[in-house]
Homo-oligomer: A and B are copies of this chain.
Amino acid sequence: MATIKDVAKHANVSVATVSRYLNKKGYLSKEAEQKVKEAIGALNYKPNSVARSLYHKTSKMLGLVIPDITNPFFPELARAVEDVALTYGYTVVICNTDEDIDKEKHYIEALKSKYVDGLIIATHELSEKDYLDLGIPLVMLDRTIGEAIPSVRSNNREGAKLGTKYLIEQGCQFIAHVRGPLTIKTAYDRYLGFKDVVDQHQTRHEIVESAFDIDESKQKILKILNEYPEIDGIFTSSDVMAVGALKATQSLGLHVPEDIQIIGFDGIPLGEMLIPSLTTISQSIYKMGTLACRLLIKQIEKKPLEELHFVLETELKIRETTRGE
């Protein structure tokens, strides 16, 4: 690989001149410009970003910290983040934490020592202080943590209200809610929304807790359906859980939506692929990703943020696991 010195020698100028040409900074004569341009072409010179990073203490890399890349919600998000990052010349490094605090720390440490320019965090392993102490631009995505770190998330409570209300409108008399782990704010808000509506309507309901995992969700639902066969509606905290619900009802020989109606949350493409396709509270996943990435880049480029916290509205996507209009 050719270095800037090789180019300088080939063009008969100093490295400073070549650098000025590369960065279009400072004075540069037409002749020098021409000579350098030629030399670069002749040697197929590409500037070395590591050397550049060392001096500038930046890397044009963004970290995206997610709990599980095999959960389809996250690749969707990653895709959005990447699309924006690319247009601004950044490379995205995706980090799977598996909700493992050590793995998360390890990754963040590794990225920091590579001068990562900023992080988008879609996990909740560390405390607000831990994140702030990193001293690099941050955005919380999907999950929030305190006021100081800019965030992008859906209006989870309203979304959950939307879904629960719809189940009641469609005639559900006894609704089960599969909520996510209590430690996850997102899941908690959805639970609150559910609670708002069933309380208001005095609808009979049961709540079970499960990880965002098909099998666990299926087992929990089997158990509760066994206990309360009268349940005629299920509202889950995520689409992946709704798949578990679908599996459970199917294995019990129940018909969806005739015997029991199901609504998920997220709006991942998977929902449409299911048969019956999944009625869900759809988040603007792609928009969340792009917004988060833009917010991060704004911080990196030290532009002022007019707003720190963004809450996106959700939308009820009526498909086949509810009785429809």
Which residue on B lies nearest to A106, using beta carbons?
B86
| Contact partners of A72 in chain B: CB under 8 A | 70, 72, 75
Q: Is A226 an interface residue (CB 8 A)?
A: no
Q: Is A184 an interface residue (CB 8 A)?
A: no
A250 x B275 contact (CB < 8 A): yes
| Contact partners of A60 in chain B: CB under 8 A | 110
A46 x B112 contact (CB < 8 A): yes
Interchain CB contact (< 8 A) of A79 among B69, B114, B274: B69
Which residue on B lies nearest to A82, using beta carbons?
B96
Nearest Cβ on chain B to A151's Cβ, whole angstroms: 23
Q: Given that A50-B54, A110-B91, A243-B273 are known contacts, is A78 also in contact with B82, CB under 8 Å in the complex?
A: no
| Contact partners of A46 in chain B: CB under 8 A | 109, 112-113
Which residue on B lies nearest to A52, using beta carbons?
B113
Q: Given that A91-B107, A273-B214, A274-B274 are known contacts, is A76 also in contact with B70, CB under 8 Å in the complex?
A: yes
Contact pattern, A 101-144, Cβ under 8 Å of B = 1, otherwise 0: 00100010111111100000000000000000000000000000
| Contact partners of A47 in chain B: CB under 8 A | 113
Interchain CB contact (< 8 A) of A274 among B93, B96, B103, B275: B275
Assembled-state Cα–Cα distance A72/B107 (Å): 23
Which residue on B lies nearest to A71, using beta carbons?
B75
Contact pattern, A 259-279, Cβ under 8 Å of B = 1, otherwise 0: 000000000011001111000
B50 x A115 contact (CB < 8 A): yes
For the complex of A and B, list the 7 residue pairs with the smallest distance between their C-beta atoms, beginning with the closest: A49-B113, A69-B75, A243-B273, A50-B53, A50-B54, A70-B75, A49-B114
Q: Given known contacts A48-B113, A48-B115, A50-B115, what 11 new A-B pairs fall within 8 Å (CB)? A: A46-B113, A50-B50, A69-B82, A70-B72, A72-B72, A74-B75, A75-B75, A78-B94, A93-B94, A246-B275, A270-B270
Listed by A's residue number, 11 A-B pairs whose Cβ atoms lie within 8 Å are A46-B109, A50-B54, A51-B54, A60-B110, A69-B78, A75-B75, A91-B111, A94-B94, A270-B273, A274-B274, A275-B276
The chain A residues found within 8 Å of chain B, CB to CB, are 46-51, 53-54, 59-60, 69-70, 72, 74-76, 78-79, 82, 86, 91-94, 96, 103, 107, 109-115, 214, 243, 246-247, 250, 269-270, 273-276
